[in-house]
Structure 1
Amino acid sequence: MAKDYHPQRKILELNEEKARSIVSTQAVNFLDLVNVSYFYRPSERAALGMENPYVVNGFQFGVNLNLGAFLQKPSQIKQARIDHKISQFERQAYEIELENQVKIRYYTYIQAFNELRIKELALQDSKTFSDDLQLRFERGEVMLSDYAEAKASVSEASSAKLEVEVNYLTAKDALEELIGAKIEDVK
């Protein structure tokens, strides 16, 4: 899901496509090495004179081969292929890294979710115990120090639950940012 959403992956795919097209273009560019030309000189003029420096009248054909470009072309094609492979490997490395990031954030989310459930149960138990001690304190069965200690325990459990809830929401947001969808929408 993150692979479909994440813009960096799309950029890497486009770079790979661009490198692939450069390989094709470099292979076709072998035709740029040869230059074919022709000249036409009407036959009714004198072949050699002051105003006509040409030796031959009629059609003249010429073929030029750019030797420097001819020698460079194989290395340019090889370089284009290497760039294409590099872009493929960059995309693959990014996909692996993205997958690992999703896993790490998912594990953090699950850990925070389970911690939140544990802290909620601890808070519930602490409240139940505190309510029981309050009732027993009102009857005179327990001392004030025990009752105050139970109230402090409820306060600590409440604070711990709040801290874990913040961690849970942070982990949830981090995971949703990476996958590009709400966790509730993921099946």
Structure 2
Amino acid sequence: MISGISYPYLERLISIAENNYPEMQVKDYQIKIAKNNVTKTSVSYLDAFSFSYYYRPTQAIDVSNPNLFNGYQIGLNLNIGTLVQKPFATKEAKAQYKIAQLQQTSYKQNLVAEVKKRYFTYMEQLTQLKLRSKSYTDAQSLVTQLRSKFEKSEVKFDDLTRALILASEQNQFLISAEGGTFAAKAALEELLGEKLENIKPNGN
């Protein structure tokens, strides 16, 4: 049984990962860009219209360039092709916005699952480390006791030898457990963007 698991602390780690992990920030920016594109395409309906004006001073008619109208002349042009394309562009922009949202949701779910996985692995390694540390301490204590008894001729040399071998094995197990714990801790901190020592359970 893995001991020391705290689900409130795990939720805090998940929240930190969501805020700090670079790829989550990329997804946030992608959503903002997609949302801005929806606004741009909605407003761009005005691009189909063009307004122009021309001022011709009042004067005698120029025979070489006759113009019946004097003063200000206003023109409004409509580009049908551009106008027809706008609904499709708006629909595509909204689809891209929806895709960006779904991609963020999917990535967030994967990130949450990965944080949980690495947290549980880390806690498992910590539990193993505690057990291996206790086993090594017990083995060392046994060696000390048997050495004292051997010096008093109360036990055989073979008994002391077996205790020394056991202590050596437990030491190797302890080293392996320490390495596994450090690796699991580093893997979890990779997602968090900061050291576990800096993240207190009470949120301070």
Amino acid at match of 2:27: L
Shift of 1:53: 4.8
Aligned to 2:162: 149
Contact 1:45–1:57, Cα closer than 8 Å, also in 2: no
TM-score for both structures, normalised by structure 1: 0.92
Matched letter for residue 121 of structure 1: K
Q: Which runs of 5+ in 2 are unaligned?
A: 1-15
**Cα deviation code 1:128-150 (max 9, x no counterpart):** 22222212222223222221111
The reply to whether residue 37 of structure 1 matches residue 56 of structure 2 is no
Which protein shows a greater Rg?
1
Q: Which residue of 2 aligns with 1:73?
A: 86
Sequence identity (%): 32
Offset at 1:105?
0.8
Distance 1:42 1:177 in 2: 74
Task: Tell me, in whole angstroms, the C-alpha distance in 1 between the residues paired with 2:173 and 2:67.
Answer: 99
Give the alignment's TM-score, normalised by structure 2: 0.85
In the alignment, structure 1 residue 113 sits paired with structure 2 residue 132: no
Q: 2: distance between equivalents of 1:181 and 1:58?
A: 71
Aligned 8 A contact 1:43 1:58 in 2: yes
2: CA distance between counterparts of 1:115 and 1:45? Answer: 103
Q: Which runs of 5+ in 1 are unaligned?
A: none
C-alpha change, 1:53 and 1:143, in structure 2 (3 Å) is farther
Take 2:195 and 2:54, find their aligned partners in 1: how far apart are those partners?
71
- The 3-state SS of whatever aligns with 2:149 is helix
Paired with 1:186 and 1:176, the residues of 2 have a C-alpha distance of 14
Q: RMSD in angstroms over aligned alpha carbons?
A: 1.5
Q: Which residue of 2 aligns with 1:186?
A: 200
Alignment of 1:136 with 2:142, yes or no, is no
Q: 2:188 & 2:200 partners in 1: Cα distance?
A: 11
Q: How many residues in Structure 1 have an aligned counterpart in Structure 2? A: 185
Cα distance in structure 1, aligned partners of 2:66 and 2:40: 41
Moved beyond 6 Å, runs of 4+: none
